[in-house]
Structures are given as C-alpha cells and as structure tokens.
Amino acid sequence: MSTKQPLYRISFHHRDKLYELYAKYINSEELFGFISLTDLVFDVSAGVVIDPVEEQLKTEFSDVEVLHIPQHHVVRIEQVKQKKTCRIKRLHNNEIMSAIPHGKGTPQ
C-alpha cells in the first residue's frame, strides 16, 4: 500500500488564458459552485535555469492559501504521479473552452 500523497494537475480558464497548476488538495464541498485548491505546488529552483512562467505563477499566487475556481471554468482535473512544468496558454479569439464536451448525440 502506497502512502504517497496524491498530486493533482488542474486546468482552468480565466479571461483569455488557460492555466495549468498543481495542488496537493482539491475540494468541491467548501463553496457551492467552486473547486477549492490548497497547497499549490511550484518548482523550487536551486540552479541557474529558471522557468519564467513558473516564476510568474509563483508570484501571482504567493499569498494564496486557498484558491477557489468557478466549476464552469475548470477544464480538467487529473491525479498525476509527478509534477511537470506549470503553464499559461493564451487562448485565441476563435478558441472556445468548454467544461462539457460536445460529443455525438449531445445537444448543443
């Protein structure tokens, strides 16, 4: 039995950007209609190479204890084995982000 703490990769959109963050804990019961993230995980670089996006996210969320994201902004939540780089992707005007996929037989 593994006692390793789970790690979650959360993708969500805010304004014209798609954020991809990592957190140790997620909860959907704290505030109705929101996903709550606690213990956000960022790389701690001791070396010379610094990822500017990771540093930007670390600065933006440095004082955040709990991040509440509206459920309809969440694109995906995945439990992962290891952390990769956090990302911010600028969405183009013609890109549509939807939390509910429109598949065959799904009314639009």
- Of 5, 14, 94, give the one whose Cα is nearest residue 57: 14
Q: What is the pLDDT of residues 76-106, one digit of tens each?
A: 999 999 998 888 999 876 555 554 454 555 4
Q: What is the pLDDT of residues 26-66, one digit of tens each?
A: 999 888 999 999 999 987 655 566 778 888 888 888 899 99
Which amino acid type is present at position 69? I
pLDDT value at residue 42: 85
Q: Where are the domains of the chain?
A: 7-90
pLDDT value at residue 102: 46
- 5-9, 22-26, 74-78, 94-98: the lowest-pLDDT one: 94-98
Give the residue ranges of DSSP H helices in the chain: 52-60
